[in-house]
């Protein structure tokens, strides 16, 4: 009988989980964690970014555990994060001094410190390279090592932000320096109106697809006009902790790869046209997401009638766990509630 299939679920669940192992087993070839970490690094970056946990080794295990499912990997990392005690908070990260691997401006040709194209897929032709299927990893490594050895390393000096100059000229509306402790949305409920720190944190952890789609809607007309990418930079930012025995000293604990973006929009200043900046910063090399975040930061600051400008709409619907969890919960049994709905419909039909 149909009903039996949904109760007595214990055994069914066990078997279902075993079946997952069957799918995961796939082939005799193994997917080594070292290879995932180093060869699928953009995937790993995205998992860490949406999970809000910078932990490559764990992200790799998560991806391997769930057949490469984005939402499941993010889920695993987030759940693990809940078990960790927070021992320290780092000092505010100065991204101006980050070790750059890439830095471009769509606003100015010449910027102080220069443009560094770095690694980007932007100018590749998206043609499937059939040789990849026959590539030997050792040969590839050797070729890259030889190329590197033939080059003389060049010092990269920390660069001031492109916006710094415009701020000096008073052309851009900046946000006043704030020493207020940020509102941590992982510890406190997001409340509305939300502060900017809560907004930025939420956007930075948001599902890439969700915020990209929203930012796109803003560009297409459901929002302000086309913004300009003032600066996009990728690189390593240093993390430091206050030294417990002497708060004026810091202890360096490592660095994280981030992508940071500043977008400029035309904005009405006091009696004159001005510019306003939107900010985006995300874990890893995740440029579209960082730009989308900067676009939405600006849209939310400006406010307006469109979805991308509606704070509560944007900030409550983009969390990977929340959206996927609630959508998938529809698969759970709803016998009792549906029975109650049926009762209401029947009574309404039979009402005099």
Partner 1 sequence: MNKNYNFAFLDEGSKREIRRAALKAIAIPGYQTPFGSRELPIGRGWGTGGLQLTLSLIGPSDVLKVIDQGSDESVNAVNIKKFVALCTDVKTTTDARAATLIQTRHRIPEFPLKNGQILIFQVPIPEPLRVVEAREEITKKMHAEKDYAPMWLQLYESLMKYRKITVSTEYPCMVEGRYMMNPSPIPKFDNPRLHKAECLYLFGAGREKKIYAIPPHTEVVSLAFDDVPFERESFAGRKCRLCGSANTYLDEIFDAQTGGKFYQCSDTSYCQEVRHAPE
For partner 1, the binding residues (CB under 8 A) are: 1-3, 6-10, 12-13, 75-76, 78-79, 81-86, 186-193, 312, 316, 321-322, 324-329, 332-337, 339-345, 347-348, 351-352
Residue 196: closest CA among 298, 92, 71? 298
CB of 62: closest distance to partner 1 in angstroms?
12
CB of 325: closest distance to partner 1 in angstroms?
3
CB 265 within 8 A of CB 227: yes
Nearer to partner 1, 245 or 330 (CB): 330
Exposed, middle or buried: residue 278 (CB in 10 Å: 0-12, 13-18, 19+)? Answer: buried
CB of 209: closest distance to partner 1 in angstroms?
17
C-alpha distance from residue 206 to each of 135, 209, 292 (Å):
36, 9, 11
* Euclidean distance between CA atoms 301 and 138, whole angstroms: 50
Geometric angle at alpha carbon 265, from 218 and 111, rounded to 5°: 125
Dihedral-angle region of residue 67 (phi above 0 means left; psi in -120 to 50 means alpha; beta otherwise): left
Residue 141: closest CA among 60, 62, 56, 34? 34
CB of 343: closest distance to partner 1 in angstroms?
4
Nearer to partner 1, 183 or 285 (CB): 183
CB of 45: closest distance to partner 1 in angstroms?
20
Nearer to partner 1, 221 or 352 (CB): 352
* Euclidean distance between CA atoms 131 and 85, whole angstroms: 47
Nearer to partner 1, 6 or 253 (CB): 6
Nearer to partner 1, 78 or 161 (CB): 78
* Euclidean distance between CA atoms 262 and 182, whole angstroms: 20
Nearer to partner 1, 75 or 210 (CB): 75
* Euclidean distance between CA atoms 98 and 108, whole angstroms: 21
CB of 65: closest distance to partner 1 in angstroms?
12
Nearer to partner 1, 18 or 347 (CB): 347
CB 116 within 8 A of CB 103: yes
CB of 330: closest distance to partner 1 in angstroms?
9
Q: How many residues does the chain have?
A: 352
């Amino acid at each position: 009988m149909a009903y039996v299939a949904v109760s007595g679920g214990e055994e069914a669940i066990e078997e279902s989980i075993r079946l997952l192992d069957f799918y995961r087993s796939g082939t005799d070839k193994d997917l080594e964690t070292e290879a995932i970490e180093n060869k699928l690094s953009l995937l790993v970056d995205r998992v860490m970014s949406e999970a809000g946990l910078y932990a490559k080794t764990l992200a790799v295990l998560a991806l391997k555990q769930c057949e490469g499912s984005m939402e499941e990997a993010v889920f695993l990392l987030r759940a693990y994060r809940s078990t960790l005690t927070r021992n320290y908070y780092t000092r505010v990260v100065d991204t101006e001094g980050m070790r750059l691997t890439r830095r471009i401006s769509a606003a100015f040709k010449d910027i102080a410190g220069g443009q560094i194209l770095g690694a980007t897929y932007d100018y590749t032709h998206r043609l499937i390279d059939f040789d990849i299927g026959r590539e030997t990893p050792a040969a590839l490594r050797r070729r890259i090592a030889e190329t590197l050895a033939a080059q003389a390393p060049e010092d990269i000096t920390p660069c001031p932000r492109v916006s710094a100059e415009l701020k000096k000229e008073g052309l851009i509306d900046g946000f006043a320096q704030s020493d207020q402790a940020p509102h941590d949305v992982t510890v406190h409920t997001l409340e509305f109106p939300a502060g900017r720190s809560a907004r930025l944190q939420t956007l930075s952890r948001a599902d890439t697809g969700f915020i990209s789609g929203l930012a796109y809607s803003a560009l297409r007309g459901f929002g302000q006009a086309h913004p300009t990418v003032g600066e996009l930079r990728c690189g390593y930012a240093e993390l430091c902790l206050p030294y417990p025995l002497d708060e004026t000293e810091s202890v360096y604990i490592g660095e994280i790869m981030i992508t940071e973006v500043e977008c400029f929009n035309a904005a009405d200043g006091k009696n004159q046209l001005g510019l306003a900046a939107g900010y985006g910063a995300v874990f890893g090399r995740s440029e579209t997401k960082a730009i989308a975040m900067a676009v939405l930061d600006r849209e939310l600051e400006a406010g307006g009638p469109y979805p991308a400008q509606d704070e509560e709409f944007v900030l409550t619907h983009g969390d990977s766990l929340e959206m996927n969890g609630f959508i998938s919960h529809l698969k759970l049994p709803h016998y009792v509630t549906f029975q109650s709905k049926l009762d209401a419909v029947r009574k309404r039909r039979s009402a005099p």
